[in-house]
Amino acid sequence: MSSTEAVRRELAKHIGYRESGTNDTIFNREFGRIPGYPHDGYGYPWCHSFLSVCLKRAGLRPDVDYPWTAGCLTGVAWFKGRGRWGSTPKPGAMVYYGQGGGTHVEWVESVSSSSITTIGGNTSGSLAGQYYNGDGVYRKTVSRSSTSIYGYGYPTYQEDDLALSDADLKKIADRVYERFTHTVPEDVWASREGILDVGQKIDPRTAFRQIWAYTKDGYQRHREVLKQLAAQDATIKALVQALADRDAAIDVDALLDRIRSEIENVHISLEVGK
């Protein structure tokens, strides 16, 4: 397993690379021969083999962290079969184009509010003022609303920032809530006291909201108490100083210490149900 940055560096260093002949590339040579294609079986479309090889070079595990394939449709099926497919663009995702995602694939380098920046092989692009049509590795910007985008596959990275699609995250959240949802039994104190009903379902989402509300309320109350204590302390100091001004014989520090000691000895009793 590796990071998105390691993959980005591996892909970016090939920007500007161009095929020889018809689809004959170092990436196909490394991926392997496919019978029936030119150049002794190495002249097949290489957009997916480019990503397959580069992700492996960067440390990702073929067919574990991402699909090891030269075919876009196979890549789409791999991601969908593992619940790692979605419509949300993310850095490190593989974006598939065309009907069923079978036309082309590139790697998402960055995402903005309106577009994605990709690095892809067997694609068109410009380099040093020259434009090349479908023959090399290029970086380009595509509108997020492009109708040619079919969807996104999410490889597994070390930082796990693409580990789950939005649908997967919702499923896990629902399972967590289901796991921690309990039914109130008869022997619970709250059910005996009539606070909760026997058989009542306790949804953790409600409990979390209540905890948050109680914590917020407690924090606010704590601030109010501290403010009152500070005001009382200032009042005591003012009173003591006023007494000292009238009678120079009063020991101001000793009187303050005595008042504070009396306050500290005050006990407040809280009784449940009273």
With beta carbons less than 8 A apart as the criterion, state whether 115 and 8 touch: no
Residue where a domain stops, chosen among 153, 172, 191: 172
pLDDT computed for residue 160 by the predictor: 59
What is the full per-residue pLDDT of the chain (274 aa) written as tens digits? 579 999 999 999 999 999 988 899 999 999 999 999 999 999 999 999 999 999 999 999 999 999 999 999 999 999 999 999 999 999 999 999 999 999 999 999 999 999 999 999 999 866 666 655 678 999 999 999 999 999 999 999 986 555 455 666 677 667 766 666 667 666 655 555 555 666 666 666 666 666 767 677 777 777 788 877 777 777 777 777 777 777 667 777 777 777 777 666 655 544 444 4
If asked whether residues 163 and 206 sit together in one domain, one would say no
Q: What pTM did the predictor assign?
A: 0.59
pLDDT computed for residue 223 by the predictor: 79
pLDDT computed for residue 149 by the predictor: 96
Residue 227 lies in a domain: yes
If asked whether residues 161 and 234 sit together in one domain, one would say no
**Which CATH number does the domain housing residue 30 bear?**
3.90.1720.10
Residue where a domain stops, chosen among 111, 138, 172: 172
Residue 151 lies in a domain: yes
If asked whether residues 88 and 47 sit together in one domain, one would say yes
Residue 57 lies in a domain: yes
Residue 146 lies in a domain: yes
Residue 274 lies in a domain: no
If asked whether residues 43 and 62 sit together in one domain, one would say yes
The structural domain count of the chain equals 2
If asked whether residues 238 and 111 sit together in one domain, one would say no
pLDDT computed for residue 273 by the predictor: 45
With beta carbons less than 8 A apart as the criterion, state whether 138 and 132 touch: yes
If asked whether residues 186 and 232 sit together in one domain, one would say yes
If asked whether residues 49 and 123 sit together in one domain, one would say yes
Residue 14 lies in a domain: yes
If asked whether residues 20 and 72 sit together in one domain, one would say yes
Whole domain around residue 144: which residue ranges?
Answer: 4-172
If asked whether residues 77 and 109 sit together in one domain, one would say yes
If asked whether residues 32 and 93 sit together in one domain, one would say yes
Residue 269 lies in a domain: no
pLDDT computed for residue 266 by the predictor: 58
β-bridge mates for residue 119, sequence order: 107, 139
**Cα dihedral 250, 251, 254, 259 sign:** positive
If asked whether residues 143 and 23 sit together in one domain, one would say yes
Residue where a domain stops, chosen among 143, 172, 201: 172
* Cα–Cα distance for residue pair 97/147, rounded to 1 Å: 9
Residue 233 lies in a domain: yes
If asked whether residues 137 and 246 sit together in one domain, one would say no
pLDDT computed for residue 163 by the predictor: 47
What is the total residue count of the chain? 274
**Residues in Cβ contact with 191 at an 8 Å cutoff, skipping those fewer than 6 apart:** 184, 185, 197, 198, 200
